[in-house]
Amino acid sequence: MSYLNANIPPIYCKIRREYLYDLQKHHGETEDCVVVGIASIPGRAILFHALLTNGAMYWRLPIAAFVQRDSSLDHQDLEDLELWNSFSYYPSVSTFDFLIGQRCKYLGKDKKFIHGEYLFTIDWAHPEPNILDTEHSEIPDQHKCAHILALDNGNFAAQPNNRILWSIPSFTTSTHWPDYKVQTTEWNVEKGGWQLEDTDNMFYNIDEKEKEN
């Protein structure tokens, strides 16, 4: 697990030029770039690092700064593209093979579905028990991952599991919006109720632990 910065599968796309000028000018223009990594800072949106064709590296831009093509210059608000900030300084980046190239849709704040395709996933954790954990990355009912999506409208998005419905023709045959409850349980198989035999046997017995009075 990385600290602060992490590699991602490279994304060849366009960058909105106004983000290269602190949103002061060049609105509606784009440049070619390749997005090569992220920075994860609690309390801030996921931040992306991009290399420009002139050799410049531009650091820590939000996902709203990037588009797939010039034909879609409609600017979606960052809050419509990414629902949650980073959950810790320790991001993990995974590409789940089963989801590569798969279609999905997420429910936006306007209650409308936005369609796209899976790219990769960012998740978070707390890596060091001797460092005070002040974040939410390991609280079951607070933690979220972020699936990075290439949207049909040309933008990119970072959305959690509970906003996305996947479309995998060979498997996802139901069409209703789920009514599942938030997961709140911390699953632990070593809480008690059993103990090992006190021997050096490799194939030891497991006995029920005597209850204390």
Tens digits of per-residue pLDDT, 67-80?
998 755 667 899 99
User: What does each C-alpha distance from 126 to 1, 2, 7, 87, 89 come to in angstroms?
Assistant: 9, 11, 18, 9, 8
> What is the rounded distance in angstroms from the CA atom of residue 16 to the CA atom of residue 191?
52
Decide: helix, strand or coil at residue 148: strand
pLDDT of 141 over the 90 cut? no
Residue 47 CA neighbour count, 13 Å, CB half: 15
- Evaluate whether residue 199 is within a structural domain: no
Kindly report the average pLDDT of the chain as a whole number. Answer: 89
Q: Which amino acid makes up residue 38? A: I
pTM over 0.85: yes
What does the DSSP 8-state code read for residue 18? G
What radius of gyration do the chain's Cα atoms show? 22
Q: What does the pLDDT look like over 22-51, one tens digit per residue?
A: 999 999 899 999 999 999 999 999 999 999
For the cut 60, the answer to whether the pLDDT of residue 14 exceeds it is: yes
Q: Which of 40 and 130 is assigned the larger pLDDT?
A: 40
- Buried/exposed code over 73-82 (b: 16+ C-beta within 10 A; e: otherwise): eeebeeebbb
Position 122 in a domain: yes
* 142-196 residue pLDDT tens: 788 999 999 999 999 999 999 999 999 889 988 788 888 888 888 887 776 777 7
Query: Is there a domain that residue 195 lies in?
Result: no
Q: Confirm whether 39 is domain-assigned.
A: yes
102: in domain: yes
Domains contained in the chain, number: 1
Instruction: Give the per-residue pLDDT at 76.
Output: 84
Q: Above pLDDT 70, what percent of the chain?
A: 90
- Buried b / exposed e over 84-101, threshold 16 CB at 10 Å, is bebbbbbbbbeeeeebee
Provide the H-helix boundaries in 17-156: 78-81
Q: Is residue 145 part of a domain?
A: yes
The position carrying tokens 């420009």 is 52
Identify the pLDDT of residue 184.
84
Parent domain of 50 = 5-177
Q: 3-class DSSP state for residue 17?
A: helix
In a domain, 62, yes or no: yes
Task: Determine, yes or no, domain membership for 198.
Answer: no
Between CA 99 and CA 121 the distance in angstroms is: 10
| The pLDDT of residue 105 is above 90 | yes
Pair 62, 8: CB distance under 8 Å: no
